[in-house]
Structure 1
Amino acid sequence: MLPSTTATVTAILTAAVCAALAAALTGWIRSVADSDSRWLRSGLHVALAAAGGAGAAELAGTGSVETLPELLAFAALAVACGILVPIDLAVHRLPDVVVVPLYPALLATLGVAAMVSGDWGALGRAGAAALALLALYFTLAFINPSGLGLGDVKLAGVLGLFLGWLGWYYVLVGTLAAFALNAVVAVVLLAIRRANRHTGIAFGPAMIAGAAVAAWLSVAG
């Protein structure tokens, strides 16, 4: 178990680095989204990247060279998710230029982590979970293309890699939490008359929030 001071310092440093990276990409994010929405001007991506970075440090249990690959994988995902949430809220799109590179990035870093730890089963489970969620989301998108887009399908595979690395239980929790959170948001928006039955609701933020809930449970448990 890491000394609390070391863990706190690591979490603060990781959060600061992730926030700085997200802030440096602000102009690029607006260009990719092709929008100047208030969601992209609010600094939300910086705050989310910082929170995700702190969570990445806690999840990786940093403090030694052996845990560095995991930290890099989780931190990269934190920055990307921090970017994707406001973009999806602004334009209902999850750009390939952000999502697709996460596949080789996570596979490479988690592959090194498996090599260092000798836990190849975790890497295999991550790959299997990615394929399972890709298949599930593709099927749902095929059945209801107005509810889910291909961007959601691609993000599902990325989150499958992450959650699968943690364990099958967290794949299930993260997936169910995404749909539950999205349903809550839809009900609230309907209740306050900010949406109707035909209003599109960005699903990417709920997917990312669901994965965050599962990751939090893995640490808390």
Structure 2
Amino acid sequence: MLFVICVASAVVSAVVAAALTRPMRALAGSRSRWLRSGLHVLLAAAGGFGAPYLALGWADLTTFLALAVACALLIPIDLAVFRLPDAIVLPLYPLTAVGLTVTAATFDAWGSLGRAAAGAAVLLAFYFVLALINPAGLGLGDVKLAGVLGAFLGWLGWPAVLAGTLAAFVLNAAVALVLLAARRVTVKSGIAFGPAMILGAVLGAAYWAVRSTALAG
């Protein structure tokens, strides 16, 4: 049954992402190949497939699916124009808050809700400080996205927050080294950090899922 739900979630996420292709390109204001590759549809499908493994009920599943689609749009936009639009990021705050609050009320998971709020605050503050220290490396879009990802990872657990955050920086460093070695960028070139943050959060969630399964077994 879970597999069927995963497939259905993947299909729904992919269809929604595909339907948002034109608005995504208009919002980015670019005709970059990243926005014409269909990458966002594949990413949304992947995120949609994994979401049911993390969900307790329909409220948080719907929230995770919305996050999956939004992040699938943000990755190619950031790769194309080095920007994470507020029009996508900011609505994720109330959406996540409502979805997780409903889930907390349904499953008496108030501790998880408090941890999600704390995770959002911690990553928001952490990335804000980093942006102040190195504004060329991190933008306010990254800071705003950090709060959303912090809430998502915090809902799962502090190990997910730590793993997801570390994974983001490791992934970004690895990509930078590869691009430098290939002479595609220089040490002064900007590299979109949003994709690493999102993929890092995915790895953090996967780590939490594997860890929880191992502990339960």
TM-score of Structure 1 vs Structure 2, range by shorter chain: over 0.9
- AA aligned to 1:28 is P
Q: Which residue, out of 4, 15, 20, partners 1:25?
A: 20
**Where in structure 2 are the equivalents of 1:133-152 lying within 5 Å?**
133-152=123-142
Displacement of 1:129: 0.8
Counterparts of 1:53 and 1:86, CA distance in 2: 17
Displacement of 1:181: 0.4
CA root-mean-square deviation? 0.7
Displacement of 1:59: 1.7
* 1:104-160 Cα deviation digits (max 9, x unpaired): 000000000000010101101100110111100000000100000000000000000
Structure 2 gaps, min length 5 = 212-217
Q: Which residue, out of 42, 45, 51, partners 1:50?
A: 45
Corresponding residue number in structure 1 for 2:143: 153
Corresponding residue number in structure 2 for 1:169: 159
Do the aligned partners of 2:63 and 2:99 also contact (CA within 8 Å) in 1?
Answer: yes
Q: How many residues align?
A: 211
Corresponding residue number in structure 1 for 2:73: 83
Q: Which residue, out of 194, 198, 220, partners 2:210?
A: 220
- TM norm structure 1: 0.94
Structure 1's consecutive aligned runs of 4 or more residues displaced over 2 angstroms after TM superposition are none
* 1:89-108 Cα deviation digits (max 9, x unpaired): 00000000000000000000
Q: Which residue, out of 117, 132, 136, partners 2:107?
A: 117
Counterparts of 1:217 and 1:171, CA distance in 2: 10
Q: Secondary structure at 1:60's aligned position in 2? A: coil
Displacement of 1:217: 1.4
Q: Which residue, out of 32, 37, 41, partners 1:37?
A: 32
Displacement of 1:220: 1.8
Counterparts of 1:27 and 1:119, CA distance in 2: 38
Structure 1 gaps, min length 5 = 1-5, 62-66
Counterparts of 1:129 and 1:220, CA distance in 2: 20
Counterparts of 1:141 and 1:189, CA distance in 2: 23
Kindly indicate whether residue 60 of structure 2 is the aligned counterpart of residue 60 of structure 1.
Answer: no
- AA aligned to 2:199 is A
Corresponding residue number in structure 2 for 1:182: 172
Do the aligned partners of 2:159 and 2:208 also contact (CA within 8 Å) in 1?
Answer: no
